[in-house]
Structure 1
Amino acid sequence: MAEGAGTAIPFWPAPDFAAWIFDTFINEGAPLENAEHAHLREASIGVLWTGVENSKRQRTIVGRAELGETIGGSDPWSKGRAVQQLEGWFGLVPDFILTFSAPYADQADDATFCALVEHELSHCAQERDAYGMPKFRKFGAPSFCMRGHDIEEFVGVVARYGADASGVRALVDAANAGPTIAAADITFACGNCQR
């Protein structure tokens, strides 16, 4: 955990990490460029490290993506405090905020860490209209939103009833096809994780 004034800081901004995310996954020509994240080239993304443990539904949470504009809720005081904190960290309220567990990242291998980052980026979406076309705000900026998981199912249900009956055929087929990025490519792009 970061240290400040003799006490541990539970959350700290990571502008270098944010730049690495753009340079690795989002920007055109990035070593692990993913066309599914192209809409984020115009987004502001604030990245935080944390040492605070988090769990939900008996699962440890090691990454989280949120819309910056929704932080703090609707109460004017809560919202005001959140905006002040975000502006202090990032200089603005970012379109998205990604938070990552520093202890987890420290022990994760390159491929696992890259998968975590891309998982969180996959939650960061551009809204679509009734015809499936990207939505934009009044002055032409993309209108962003959060995207849910493609698939949510229990391993036990898949084991008992199969991929088709449990609605995970596309995931199983993707897993069986193997990764589209070689481990060496991931190691090169994720050099900051190497020991």
Structure 2
Amino acid sequence: MARRPPAAPGSGRPVPPPEFTDPLNNRYLPAPEVLKWARATILTEGGALYNEDHAHLEYADVHFLWAPEGFVKAGRTVLGQCEEVTFRCGPWQKGRQQQQMADWFGMVPDFLITLDASYCLACSDLEFCALVEHELFHIGQEHDEFGAPAFTKDGLPKLCMRAHDVEEFIGVVRRYGASQDVQRMIDAAKTPPEVARINIARACGTCLLKVA
């Protein structure tokens, strides 16, 4: 992919720290500026790109992390990944990982979104926005046994990891027609894009986690 010049400082979009311009840099760094920008721009009503689909994330415990570069999985280069922070390991391993999170963020977040800093230095503003929002969409709100949005005992949305809205084979749709979910995607595709015509799903590590 051809590299573009880094976004201008006045664009308002967060840019990775200068050390990520060094191709030999291999550090991971917390990205509080991305969280601040995402809350002001996408998650808070009145923001320039506010999306009410993320209303359940207003008080979500999510943090962002810069990675020095992406990685290849299932033949695709991963540029971003959202994960629920869990520690399935022994006490010492868990202790080390919890300490690392606390050193980065001052606490252990519920969700972590990692972004490829080298890509974010070169991509367009629209590509950056699409990448961040794609990862945010992976944090959904659970539903109760009646299909209604679920909440914690404190009255906050109960969050979970979610996959794409539509997962179906083209051949099945061609032969048997669209399901209700697929039809909603078709109807949405017929309308002009609200922000930009772009597809970042193929570069999402969260989407590729289930690929063996």
Scaled by the length of structure 1, the TM-score of the pair is: 0.77
Q: Taking structure 1 as reference, are residues 124 and 84 closer, same or farther at Cα in structure 2, changes over 3 Å only?
A: same
SS of equivalent to 1:179:
coil
TM superposition shift of 1:153: 4.9
1:145-188 CA distance string (max 9 Å, x none):
1011112356xx46x937935874432332221212379xxxxx
Q: 1:16 to 1:55 in 2, by over 3 A?
A: same
Counterparts of 2:41 and 2:124 in 1: how far apart (Å)? 16
**Is 1:132 aligned to 2:144, yes or no?**
no
Cα distance change of structure 1 residues 76 and 127 upon mapping to structure 2, 3 Å threshold = farther
Q: What is the one-letter code of the residue matched to 1:117?
A: V
The sequence identity of aligned pairs, in percent, is: 43
Is the Cα–Cα contact under 8 Å of residues 49 and 101 in structure 1 kept in the other structure? yes
User: Residue 95 of structure 1 corresponds to which residue in structure 2?
Assistant: 110
CA deviations 1:98-146 (Å, max 9, x no partner) are 1111111122222222111111000011221111223233433432210
**Equivalent-residue separation in structure 2 for 1:162 and 1:25 (angstroms):** 39
Compared CA separation, residues 163 and 66, structure 1 to 2 (3 A): farther
Q: Which amino acid counterpart does residue 76 of structure 2 have in structure 1? A: R
Distance 1:106 1:14 in 2: 13
Q: Does the Cα contact within 8 Å between 1:163 and 1:172 map onto a contact in 2?
A: no
Q: 1:50-90: per-residue Cα shift (whole Å, max 9, x none)? A: 1133122111111111113x1x3243222222211111111
Match of 1:178 among 160, 168, 192: 192
Higher relative contact order (CA 8 A, sep 6+): 2
- Aligned match for 1:29, one of 46, 52, 57: 46
RMSD, aligned α-carbons? 2.7
Name structure 1 gaps, 5 residues minimum: 184-195
Mark the CA change 1:147 to 1:137 in structure 2 (over 3 Å): closer, same or farther. Answer: same
Q: Residue in 1 aligned with 2:80?
A: 63
Amino acid across the alignment from 1:124:
I
Written as runs of structure 1 = structure 2, the 5 A alignment for 1:115-154 is 115-153=130-168
Counterpart-to-counterpart distance in 1, 2:124 and 2:176:
28
> Which structure features the higher share of helix residues?
1
Shift of 1:91: 0.7
**Counterpart code for 1:53:** G
Partner of 2:34: 17
Please give the alpha-carbon distance, in whole angstroms, between the structure 2 residues aligned to 1:25 and 1:110.
Answer: 14
C-alpha contact (below 8 Å) 1:2/1:12 kept by paired residues? no
Whole-Å Cα distance in 2 between the matches of residues 112 and 175 of structure 1? 18
Structure 2: runs of 5+ lacking an equivalent:
1-17, 198-212
